[in-house]
Structure 1
Amino acid sequence: MPLLLLLLLLPSLSCPHPICEVTKVASQVEMNCENKTLKAPPPDLEAGTTNLHLGENPLGTFSTSSLVHLRDLTQLHLGKSQLTSLQTDGRLPRLETLKLPHNKLRSLPLLGQALPALTILDASFNELTSLSPGALDGLSQLQELYLRGNKLKTLPPRLLAPTPQLKKLNLAENQLRELPPGLLDGLEEPDTLYLQQNWLRAVPEGFFGNHLLPFTFLHDNPWSCDCDNLYFTRWLQRNPNNVYVWKEGVDVKAMTPDVRSVRCINPPPEFVYAYSGEGCPTPSNTAGLDYDNYEDDDEVSTGS
């Protein structure tokens, strides 16, 4: 009798406790394997997994080949995983979301061939110092790119050419000193651009093109108020309600426009939109702005 009782109290060896938590809703199978001290994906992942969370594990190096058996995988979360290397040697044809924030990546591999369906790529708060010219080749479905909080100093001129559907681009909190002319060329309808907290002094002539860009974040840069930056001044005068100040945790649609957040490093004047351009040569009208028909400074909305 004591032996039988002991056997009943012991955990069953035939039904080991799963490492990951599984949630199933309709056709979605989510496996949460976060903070399990894993150094690689567990071998017993369900074949029908659609959303996989592997964050907060000491992965170090990660290869997409370890997940090729997950044919339905659409979301992969690898934040805070001490990643120093990402290898795309396995094709994940249905993956739409790849999140890699708060890691130690110094470069991004070519993703297009392995992840052709990718729509969201988040590599924020890594150690990226540069991007290869073809970094986004093959990502024709990409709609959101987050590179906030890296160490980028320059960008390849044609970086976004392979991503015509891109809507949100976050380059905030980097070390960018200049923007490549034509960076936004070819994008169909970008709506949000984060450039705050860089080292930018000027915007190239014609940079914004004919894009509406209803949400732009440009504050905390050492903007120069001079004749070489007159295009940017005129753009701000024409689009004061499209300029915002970033606030962590606040939805952009709940923010109040504030064109005064874009300040000159060489006052007076204090605000870039208020620069008169007195004495500057008359600019051409080839950059998408009608310089003879912009609002007067005292008519520009400056937010609250």
Structure 2
Amino acid sequence: MPLLLLLLLLPSPSRPQSVCEVSQVTSQVEVNCDNRGLKAPPPDLPADTAILRLGENPLGTFSTASLLPLTRLAQLHLSQSQLTHLQMDGTLPALETLDVSHNKLRSLPPLGRALPALNTLDASFNELTSLSHSALDGLSQLHELYLRGNKLKTLPPGLLAPTPWLRKLSLADNKLNELPPGLLEGLEELDTLYLQGNWLRTVPKNFFGDLLLPFAFLHSNPWSCDCEILYFTRWLQDNSNNVYLWKEGVDVKAMTPNVESVRCINLANTPVYTYPGKGCPTLGDADIGYDEYEDEDPFTTAGVTRGGGEMWEPGAHRTRLPTLRRGRVPDR
């Protein structure tokens, strides 16, 4: 009799207990399956799941096919899941956030057709060595793209053309040794750019265009101060209040501008914005919005007026007037 009673108290095999935690976040259903030893999503996910966390599981290869019944799925978190391959099967029409950071991905599949509403893509700290020119095709709603801590050496021209509403772009801590001209062209909403920790020696002329860029992180690159860097030097002078030194765990809006963090590797580590360009044929280029100078040192030129309405008088403290640029005014 005691044995029969014990058997009756055991869970019925026809009613398996869910391995995930289900909770309500505002009006959304969140399912947390983090660190459960899963090799695939569990089959009993609620049909109205909006946020799904599958991080810290030994997933290896992951296909979105099993998630297609989740028509309300808005966030998918797959960080630290030993991902080596991501396969997009079918369409997740409501998915806005995809986090595949801290994995072992060497390439990204085409995402646009499968994730037409994607707003945020975090593929930081993977093993990406390159991106195809069509990697972001179809992601017209993308606002945030994080590719920090990969092994990217170059970027294809036109990579960001399909993402005109992009606001935050992180390419930090890669191996980029050059930037394609026009990479930021058309990104009028871009407000934060992370390029620190690469192998960059210069930037192409007119790289920033007339972009309003409130937060730029450009330090920890081997900037080479010679005649080829004069465009970048002038840009730093005109945007000194928008250049910052990255600090882990600190919100960008709490940081203090630090244009001196961008330094020449070949001139005793002096700040790039102070490079005078002595010996260069010109200190500007009409095509990039800066007037040409006859004097070798712009800081001693009498009454020089440059693009943006600034004037330097000999012996006077330099005063820079505001420059009107295209784009929205950020909340600071």
TM bucket by the smaller chain? over 0.9
Superposed displacement of residue 285, structure 1: 2.5
Superposed displacement of residue 25, structure 1: 3.3
CA contact (8 A) 1:185 1:209 kept: yes
- 1:19/1:269 CA distance change after superposition, 3 Å: closer
Per the normalisation by structure 2, the TM-score is 0.86
Unaligned regions of 5+ residues in structure 2, if any? 293-304, 321-332
| Residue equivalent to 1:84 | 84
Q: Identity of aligned pairs, percent?
A: 71
Q: Distance in 1 between matches of 2:319 and 2:140?
A: 38
Q: Distance in 1 between matches of 2:220 and 2:162?
A: 30
CA contact (8 A) 1:63 1:90 kept: no
Given residue 284 of structure 1, which amino acid in structure 2 is its aligned partner?
A: D
**Cα distance per residue 1:139-195 (max 9 Å; x no partner):** 000000000000000001100000000010000000000010000001121000000
- 1:288/1:193 CA distance change after superposition, 3 Å: farther
What does 1:156-175 align with in structure 2 at a 5 Å threshold? Answer: 156-175=156-175
Secondary structure in structure 1 of the residue aligned to 2:29:
strand
| Residue equivalent to 1:123 | 123
| Residue equivalent to 1:286 | 287
Q: Distance in 2 between matches of 1:279 and 1:18?
A: 72
What does 1:146-225 align with in structure 2 at a 5 Å threshold? Answer: 146-225=146-225
Superposed displacement of residue 269, structure 1: 6.8
Per the normalisation by structure 1, the TM-score is 0.94
- 1:184/1:210 CA distance change after superposition, 3 Å: same
Q: Distance in 2 between matches of 1:268 and 1:84?
A: 43
Secondary structure in structure 2 of the residue aligned to 1:50:
strand
Q: Distance in 1 between matches of 2:76 and 2:275?
A: 47
CA contact (8 A) 1:237 1:300 kept: no
Given residue 79 of structure 2, which amino acid in structure 1 is its aligned partner?
A: G
Superposed displacement of residue 203, structure 1: 0.8
| Residue equivalent to 2:58 | 58
Given residue 167 of structure 2, which amino acid in structure 1 is its aligned partner?
A: K
Q: Distance in 1 between matches of 2:69 and 2:10?
A: 34
Q: State whether structure 2 residue 226 is matched by structure 1 residue 226.
A: yes
Q: Distance in 2 between matches of 1:74 and 1:212?
A: 30
Q: Distance in 1 between matches of 2:319 and 2:191?
A: 21
Q: Distance in 2 between matches of 1:128 and 1:20?
A: 31
Larger radius of gyration: 2
CA contact (8 A) 2:188 2:212 kept: no
Q: State whether structure 2 residue 32 is matched by structure 1 residue 6.
A: no
| Residue equivalent to 1:99 | 99
Q: Distance in 2 between matches of 1:41 and 1:169?
A: 30
CA contact (8 A) 1:30 1:52 kept: yes
Superposed displacement of residue 7, structure 1: 3.9
Superposed displacement of residue 74, structure 1: 0.4
Q: Distance in 1 between matches of 2:5 and 2:11?
A: 12
Q: Distance in 2 between matches of 1:251 and 1:266?
A: 32
Superposed displacement of residue 11, structure 1: 2.9
Secondary structure in structure 1 of the residue aligned to 2:52:
strand
